[in-house]
């Protein structure tokens, strides 16, 4: 694995971007562009875009997998030609390191230029990953520049970076979408290979600051204590809402096998619709106003 | 078998559909129009097509009554006073619909329903329950007796109680008829109403969104006080309509040209002139010989006026025509190809604008351009200026590339987009897309969700379940189900790119 954070987390004028979507109906309110950052410091079993977990080390193993001539090597670096790419995904399957040859280093200006023809259509920009906070310096810069270009930002995060230490980012962002993977520490560690101490601190902090747009939990039976996670997350959202006057939504996501790595795919269970309804009812019973199942 | 006998024996047509088919056969047994051989040749080869309008025009193709006037005055001919409550209002309208002629024999425009009904439901004139019941029954009656989805109702741009009730009832009923447009202006249409419209569209494929900021001033400038969206998406003067719609098949025409230059400089002027001459002859017969404008009570009572009738110059297959001369570069993807497409439309627009029909006063005798959506027998011909299904760019790029064509088509052009069912959770997404599209200059757009039963075929709506009925050899209530089935088979309209 490539070292994450470190040099990349200071002030930066470019970041490593996995993908840019010009339009999305599922990444926040209204129509939003989405910038996916490359690199994540968690390693969740149910990750459905595992190609965004690690940085590409330019080993070149994926190059022969491309049938469309979209990949090549130049002076030890893998090169991707979007004009030839058919988006077939073969290179992602071929990469043994949960990375992608299509990730690119881009400046905030380059990203905003790419999106500028579409501004009239957008309510804002959502930043996702990977994990955006792994490139904290660049994240803060992009959020600020996008907002001043008329694209207010929502940041989708696993909550591993302590947001209370980044007040400028929190002020510049419209809000955050926070993943609550499991309430129990040991279960969280087993699922994501990382602690949730800071995640839960962030949940309280962002909710109380009125900056939590949405909390989300992926539901797969048997992976963690789902009832406890939903109940506790709901209570934290509610407590925050009392302090800030703004209540976040809580989204319960069905585990879906698409994109999940073969090693995990078949071990994870799909929730039945009744379970999803029961969990939503649980959250509503705690007092949440907007609970969404998708 | 004689065509009339074939109709009589057809087990997939209802009684009413057979009556209409037999009337067409009867009409086509005479040929009163004077058509010169050159024009006849182009009609025979399908370069020009009258869209089954018949040999002897005895009514305008599209009639757009001034229902506001009817609500104000009632009708002497029909023996109706001005309605006083929501039940009388909906009942009067249903009576009048029975008497509005059109190419389909059904009314293609049934009014700006929210405006017409608002006086009877606003300010506590009817309780919510009563108003919803009256409007639901009204819409149900329309779906079950106007068996043709070219029937169009308009809403907006302002939000009204009646408008909300119509959207709610439409969502509940999940019917193909009527087709609905929301005249949308971001300054006049509040977001919550527009989001209700977007959510309804994602459930039942209607309403579509008409760019009021383009239509309203444009029709004012042509000398009409108001416009309506009728049939598929046809912008027409209110209190008038369109005498005829004839279309040019650019895809077919391209086969007759040697090069881009030959197409644009020689062929286009030739076939445009031929179509104009043919339209003039249809209009002449309707206006001067058929006696329609002298005998219709709609004219006598001022619900329609001859001076507000224009005619529509239609075209299809721009994409295929462009691609025929673009050496593998594709319309909707390559700027050079798109520029050639624009040059073709610009040229046609100039030629049509330079022509004056002697028999029409509306818009000084100038015809209105219309991007026709095709007919069910078309194969490999894209509607109007649309990018072919199966070759659609990403959603926003698609809109940006389509928008420059929209300004030429006062009497209608539109794009249709299929959305992932998950978009239902976020109708504001669709509204954002609509807002952006209209800022880009898009005149009209439709959306539906890829798993809906009611789907938009090219401009009109059909229920998938009705298409299945026809496949089993059973009759379907709406005549448009058959058109839909053929378009699904021939044009692959259900294979539209699904936008996530
Ligand atoms: S994407 Fe993976 S396989 Fe391809 S060069 Fe990068 S690390 Fe190697
Ligand atoms: S996704 Fe693009 S780059 Fe990757 S293998 Fe397919 S065509 Fe090649």
More confident residue, B500 or B315: B315
The model's pLDDT over B390-406, given as tens digits with 9 standing for 90+, comes to 899 999 999 999 999 99
Interface of A with B in 26-65 (CB under 8 A): 26, 29-32
The model's pLDDT over B293-336, given as tens digits with 9 standing for 90+, comes to 999 999 999 999 999 999 999 999 999 999 999 999 999 999 99
Q: Among positive and negative, which fits the CA dihedral B249, B177, B422, A214?
A: positive
The model's pLDDT over B265-288, given as tens digits with 9 standing for 90+, comes to 999 999 999 999 999 999 999 999
At A12, the pLDDT band (50, 70, 90 cuts) reads: low
Instruction: Quote the minimal CA–CA distance from B454 to chain A in Å.
Output: 21
Tell me, what's the pLDDT at A7?
Answer: 40
Cis preceding-peptide flag for A126 (omega within 30 of 0): no
Instruction: Quote the minimal CA–CA distance from B228 to chain A in Å.
Output: 26
At B499, the pLDDT band (50, 70, 90 cuts) reads: confident
Mean pLDDT value across residues B187-208 = 97
Tell me, what's the pLDDT at B495?
Answer: 83
Could you tell me if residue B85 is inside a domain?
yes
Mean pLDDT value across residues A105-124 = 97
Contact B419/A at CB under 8 A: yes
CATH value at residue B416: 3.20.70.20
Tell me, what's the pLDDT at B498?
Answer: 87
Task: Please report the number of interchain residue pairs, chain A to chain B, with beta-carbon separation below 8 angstroms.
Answer: 61
Atom of ligand 1 nearest to the CA of A100: 1
Q: Give distance in angstroms: CA of A89 to centre of ligand 2.
A: 5
Mean pLDDT value across residues A277-285 = 97
Q: What lines the ligand 1 site, CB under 6 Å?
A: A 56-62, 78, 95, 97, 99-101
Could you tell me if residue B420 is inside a domain?
yes
At B497, the pLDDT band (50, 70, 90 cuts) reads: confident
Give the mutation target among A87, A100, A103 for probing the ligand 2 site: most ligand atoms within 8 A of CB: A87
Res. B45: pLDDT tops 60: yes
* Low-confidence winner among A165-179, A259-273, B56-70 (lowest mean pLDDT): A259-273
Could you tell me if residue B4 is inside a domain?
no
Q: What is the mean pLDDT of chain A?
A: 93
Tell me, what's the pLDDT at A1?
Answer: 35
Task: Report the alpha-carbon distance of residue A77 to residue B425 in Å, rounded.
Answer: 42
Res. A281: pLDDT tops 50: yes
Tell me, what's the pLDDT at B477?
Answer: 82
Mean pLDDT value across residues B365-380 = 92
Q: What angle do CA B85, B91, B92 make, to 5 degrees?
A: 90
Q: What is the token pair recorded at B380?
A: 């490999």
Task: Report the alpha-carbon distance of residue B341 to residue B323 in Å, rounded.
Answer: 9
Tell me, what's the pLDDT at B460?
Answer: 86
The model's pLDDT over A50-87, given as tens digits with 9 standing for 90+, comes to 999 999 999 999 999 999 999 999 999 999 998 899 98
Residue A285's H or E segment, with its range, is: helix A273-286
Contact B500/A at CB under 8 A: yes
Could you tell me if residue B16 is inside a domain?
no
Give the residue numbers spanning the domain of B385: 31-500
Could you tell me if residue B171 is inside a domain?
yes
Task: Report the alpha-carbon distance of residue B137 to residue B166 in Å, rounded.
Answer: 11
Q: What is the mean pLDDT of chain B?
A: 95
Tell me, what's the pLDDT at A266?
Answer: 83
Phi, psi of B329 (to 5 degrees): -75, 140
The model's pLDDT over A174-219, given as tens digits with 9 standing for 90+, comes to 999 999 999 999 999 999 999 999 999 999 999 999 999 999 999 9
User: Domain total for chain B?
Assistant: 1
Contact A122/B at CB under 8 A: yes
At B146, the pLDDT band (50, 70, 90 cuts) reads: very high
Name residues whose C-beta falls within 8 Å of residue B287's C-beta, 6 or more positions apart in sequence: B243, B293, B306, B359, B360
Mean pLDDT value across residues A277-290 = 97
Res. A4: pLDDT tops 80: no
The model's pLDDT over A14-61, given as tens digits with 9 standing for 90+, comes to 999 999 999 999 999 999 999 999 999 999 999 988 999 999 999 999
Residue A57's H or E segment, with its range, is: none
Give the mutation target among A65, A92, A95, A130 for probing the ligand 1 site: most ligand atoms within 8 A of CB: A95
Q: For testing the chain B interface, which of A32, A85, A121, A151 should be mutated: the one with the most B CBs within 10 Å?
A: A121
Confidence check on the interface: ipTM exceeds 0.90, yes or no: no
Chain B residues with CB under 8 Å of A22 CB are 394-397
Mean pLDDT value across residues B248-259 = 96
Could you tell me if residue B14 is inside a domain?
no
The model's pLDDT over B348-370, given as tens digits with 9 standing for 90+, comes to 999 999 999 999 999 999 999 99
Could you tell me if residue B2 is inside a domain?
no
Nearest to B89 by CA among B106, B108, B68: B68
Nearest to B149 by CA among B128, B172, B178, B175: B178
Nearest to B434 by CA among B113, B109, B156: B156
Tell me, what's the pLDDT at B494?
Answer: 79
Could you tell me if residue B84 is inside a domain?
yes
**Prediction pTM value:** 0.92
In eight-state DSSP terms, residue A237 is: H
């Amino acid at each position: 694995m490539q070292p994450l954070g470190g040099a990349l987390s200071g002030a930066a004028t470019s970041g490593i971007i996995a993908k840019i979507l010009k339009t999305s109906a599922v990444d926040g309110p209204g129509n939003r562009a989405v910038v996916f950052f490359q690199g994540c410091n968690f390693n969740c079993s149910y990750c459905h875009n595992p190609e965004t977990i690690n940085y590409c080390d330019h080993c070149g193993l994926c190059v022969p997998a491309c049938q469309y001539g979209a990949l090549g090597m130049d002076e030890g670096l893998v090169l991707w030609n979007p004009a030839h790419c058919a988006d077939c995904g073969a290179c992602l399957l071929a990469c043994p390191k949960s990375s992608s040859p299509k990730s690119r280093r881009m400046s905030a200006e380059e990203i905003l230029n790419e999106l500028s023809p579409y501004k009239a259509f957008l309510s804002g920009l959502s930043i996702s990953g990977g994990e955006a906070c792994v490139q904290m310096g660049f994240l803060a810069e992009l959020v600020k520049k996008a907002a001043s270009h008329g694209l207010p930002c929502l940041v989708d995060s696993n909550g591993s970076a302590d947001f209370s230490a980044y007040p400028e980012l929190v002020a510049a962002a419209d809000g955050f979408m926070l993943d609550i993977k499991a309430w129990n520490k040991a279960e969280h560690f087993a699922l994501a290979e990382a602690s949730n101490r800071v995640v839960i601190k962030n949940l309280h902090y962002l909710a109380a600051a009125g900056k939590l747009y949405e909390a989300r939990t992926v539901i797969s039976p048997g992976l963690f204590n789902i009832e406890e996670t939903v109940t506790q997350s709901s209570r934290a959202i509610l407590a925050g809402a009392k302090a800030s006057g703004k209540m976040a939504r809580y989204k319960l996501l069905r585990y879906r096998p698409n994109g999940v790595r073969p090693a995990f795919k078949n071990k994870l269970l799909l929730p039945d619709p009744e379970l999803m309804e029961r969990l939503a009812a649980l959250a509503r019973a705690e007092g949440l106003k907007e609970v969404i199942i998708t | 078998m004689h065509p009339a006998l074939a109709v009589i024996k057809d087990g997939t047509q209802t009684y009413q559909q057979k009556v209409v088919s037999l009337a067409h056969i009867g009409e086509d047994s005479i040929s009163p129009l004077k058509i010169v051989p050159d024009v006849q040749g182009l009609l025979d080869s399908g370069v020009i097509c009258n869209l089954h309008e018949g040999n002897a025009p005895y009514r305008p193709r599209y009639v757009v009554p001034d229902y506001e006037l009817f609500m104000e005055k009632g009708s002497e001919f029909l023996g109706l006073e001005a309605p006083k409550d929501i039940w009388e209002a909906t009942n009067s309208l249903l009576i009048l619909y029975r008497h509005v002629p059109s190419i389909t024999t059904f009314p293609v425009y049934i009014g700006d329903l929210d405006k017409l009904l608002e006086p009877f439901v606003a300010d506590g004139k009817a309780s919510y329950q009563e108003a919803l019941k009256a409007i639901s029954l009204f819409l149900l009656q329309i779906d079950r007796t106007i068996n043709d989805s070219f029937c169009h109702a308009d809403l907006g741009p302002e939000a009204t109680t009646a408008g909300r009730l119509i959207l709610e009832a439409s969502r509940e009923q999940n019917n193909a008829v009527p087709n609905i447009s929301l005249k949308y202006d971001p300054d006049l249409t509040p977001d919550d109403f527009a989001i209700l419209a977007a959510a309804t569209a994602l459930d039942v494929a209607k309403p579509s969104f008409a760019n009021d900021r383009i239509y309203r001033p444009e029709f004012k400038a042509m000398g009409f006080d108001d416009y309506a969206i009728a049939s598929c998406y046809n912008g027409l003067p209110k209190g008038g309509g369109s005498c005829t719609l004839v279309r040019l098949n650019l895809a077919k025409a391209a086969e007759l040209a040697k090069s881009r230059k030959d197409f644009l400089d020689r062929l286009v002027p030739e076939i445009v002139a031929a179509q104009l001459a043919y339209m003039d002859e249809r209009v002449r017969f309707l206006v001067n010989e058929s006696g329609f404008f002298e005998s219709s009570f709609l004219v006598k009572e001022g619900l329609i006026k001859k001076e507000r009738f224009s005619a529509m110059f239609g075209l299809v297959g721009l994409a295929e025509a462009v691609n025929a001369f673009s050496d593998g570069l594709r319309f909707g993807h390559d700027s050079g190809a798109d520029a050639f497409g624009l040059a073709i439309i610009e040229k046609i627009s100039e030629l049509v604008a330079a022509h004056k029909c002697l028999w029409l006063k509306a818009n000084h005798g100038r015809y209105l351009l219309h991007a026709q959506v095709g007919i069910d027998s078309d194969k490999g011909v894209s509607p109007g200026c649309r990018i072919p299904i199966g070759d659609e760019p990403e959603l926003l790029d698609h809109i940006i590339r389509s928008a420059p064509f929209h300004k030429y088509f006062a009497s209608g052009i539109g794009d249709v987009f299929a959305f992932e069912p998950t978009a239902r959770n976020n109708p504001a997404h669709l509204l954002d897309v609509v807002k952006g599209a209209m800022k880009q200059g898009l005149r009209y757009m439709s959306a539906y969700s890829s798993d809906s039963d009611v789907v938009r075929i090219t401009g009109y709506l059909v229920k998938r379940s009705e298409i299945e009925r026809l496949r089993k050899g059973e009759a379907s209530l709406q005549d448009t189900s058959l058109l839909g089935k053929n378009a699904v088979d021939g044009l692959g309209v259900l294979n539209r790119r699904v936008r996530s």
